[in-house]
Amino acid sequence: MDINLNTADAAFQSEVRDFIEGVLPDDIRVKTELGQRLEKDDYVRWHKILFDKGWVAPAWPEELGGTGWTPLQRYLFEEELARAETPRLIPFGLSMVAPVIMAFGNAAQKKYFLPRILSCKDWWCQGYSEPGAGSDLASLATKAVPDGDDYIITGVKTWTTLAQFADMIFCLVRTSNEGRPQTGITFLLIDMHSPGIKVRPIRTIDGGHEVNDVFFDDVRVPQANRIGKENKGWTYAKFLLGHERTGIAAIGRSKQELRRLKEVASAEASGAGTASLAEAGAFADKMADLEIDILALESLVLKIVADESAGRTPGAEASILKIRGTLIQQQLSELTLEAIGYYANPYIAEAQEAGWNELPVGPKTAATVTPHYLNWRKATIYGGTNEIQKNIIAKMVLGL
């Protein structure tokens, strides 16, 4: 979708594009173009490049390190990051726990944690899901018992993304069994280097180590690391999830995936006089349907951008973005797998690693198409399953 930009916004977009082109390290660029796995150092280097420029946290208030950009400029910035296929900025610190600390933390917490998040001195992960509490998060059982000025934490968190790299984890813990389950939950900030914490990898179906179990065995956490009031963590958790679900849509990334899909589908056919996939009726129809879905989602995103410019915050739209955005991401991975065809086999997990030096077979991205497809089966589950999002929409819009 083309946006009619005024002179200032067009100049801003060009400035962002030129900057990214000039500073994205070549080794990271190659990994992202080929769909290979990024290491912690890759994410941190890119974060610090944007931090040094003052562009790492556009949505933060200016006095805390934000850019002062308009909502449209923030949207354009995300578009250019996606177009250049830069590493994603890990959201757990910048766009998830930081807004909670800003909104509900005390002065000491803001002074200590926010600069460390901004500079990537601390890598954060999220401790919500448990083996018995995923979509029904209110049934979580990880327990925090007061002991003097501390809490003693016992329990397990699971599906904890990139916990193997983390310095800090924001956690929902149970501090009371009285009343409704939601009323006994507290929001804690926990040092991952504390005695009693163990991280165990979970190998996913694509062969990667992205998620983990995190075990807490009598872990001592200062009560000073509690956000807000005891037993009010459910309120802060809902606030955080609104930020997470809005970001999950990743419309810019989906548009870039669509451009790549079109390139693969438009490649010259192997047989003389044979039409490419992009020209074949059935596949062309699938691509057209998907492109229409992306345009429709982008229209909703731009509506939210306009609302933010007018001082309004999204309501049920956050859940709609999550549902439609993740379904589109899955459909993109499915169509790309179909377009690559037999070049996607055999599936070799090692092909995702930098330094893989086997001769390429088919398009240069073929080796990573299957693991990408497998990995994105998760998209409709994390951040609150799409089924749960439909319930939220029904309550907020229909009053059911």
Give the per-residue pLDDT at 184.
95
What does the domain layout of the chain look like in residue ranges?
7-89, 123-232, 249-267+276-398
CATH of domain 123-232: 2.40.110.10
Give CA–CA dist 191/244, Å, rounded: 22
Q: Are 71 and 3 in contact (CB under 8 A)?
A: no
Question: Chain-wide mean pLDDT for the chain?
Answer: 89
- Render pLDDT for 208-217 as a digit per residue (tens, 0 to 9): 899 999 999 9
Q: For residues 279 and 284, which has the higher predicted lDDT (pLDDT)?
A: 284
pLDDT at 34: 83
301: helix, strand or coil:
helix
Mean pLDDT check: name the lowest of 101-105, 147-151, 170-174, 350-354.
Answer: 350-354
Beta strands in 82-142 (DSSP E): 124-127
Burial of 92 (0-12, 13-18, 19+ CB in 10 A): buried
**DSSP calls for 14-83:** HHHHHHHHHHS-HHHHHHHHHTPPPPHHHHHHHHHHHHHHT-S-TTS-GGGT-----HHHHHHHHHHHHH
Q: H or E stretch including 257?
A: helix 251-265
| Mean pLDDT across 218-237 | 96
Q: What is the pLDDT of residue 279?
A: 80
352-357 long-range CB contacts below 8 Å, 24 or more apart? Answer: 352/35, 352/36, 352/37, 352/206, 352/207, 352/208, 353/36, 353/37, 354/27, 354/30, 354/31, 354/36, 354/37, 354/39, 356/36
Percent of the chain with pLDDT over 90: 60
According to the model, what pLDDT value does residue 360 have?
58
Output the pLDDT for position 268.
53
pLDDT at 363: 74
| Identical topology for domains 123-232 and 249-267+276-398 | no
For 27, counting Cβ atoms within 10 Å of its Cβ (0-12 exposed, 13-18 middle, 19+ buried), the class is: exposed
> What is the pLDDT at residue 113?
98
**249-267+276-398 fold:** Butyryl-CoA Dehydrogenase, subunit A; domain 3 (1.20.140)
Digit-coded pLDDT (tens) for 237-274? 988 876 655 667 788 899 999 998 998 888 755 444 45
User: pLDDT tens digits for 99-118?
Assistant: 999 999 999 999 999 999 99
Cα(23)–Cα(18) distance, rounded to whole angstroms?
9
Model's pTM, two decimal places?
0.88
DSSP state of 204: -
Q: Mean per-residue pLDDT for 317-344? A: 88
pLDDT at residue number 361: 65
Sign of the alpha-carbon torsion through 32, 54, 239, 246:
negative
CB 133 within 8 A of CB 147: no
What 8-state DSSP symbol labels residue 198? Answer: E
Give the highest mean pLDDT range of 102-111, 350-359, 390-399. Answer: 102-111
Contact 225, 159 (CB under 8 A): no
Condensed to tens digits (0 to 9), the pLDDT of residues 29-67 reads 988 988 888 999 999 999 999 999 999 999 999 999 999
Query: DSSP states of 328-358 as a string?
Result: HHHHHHHHHHHHHGGGG-S--GGGGSTT--S
The mean per-residue pLDDT over the stretch 7-24 comes to 97
- For the record, the structure tokens of 27 come out as 């080794």
Asked if the model's pLDDT at residue 346 lies above 80, the reply is no
Taking a C-beta distance cutoff of 8 angstroms, is the pair 204, 213 a contact? Answer: no
The residue to which tokens 């930081």 are assigned:
98
Burial state string for 216-240 with b = 16 or more CB within 10 A and e = fewer than 16: beebbbeeebbbbebbbbbbbbeeb
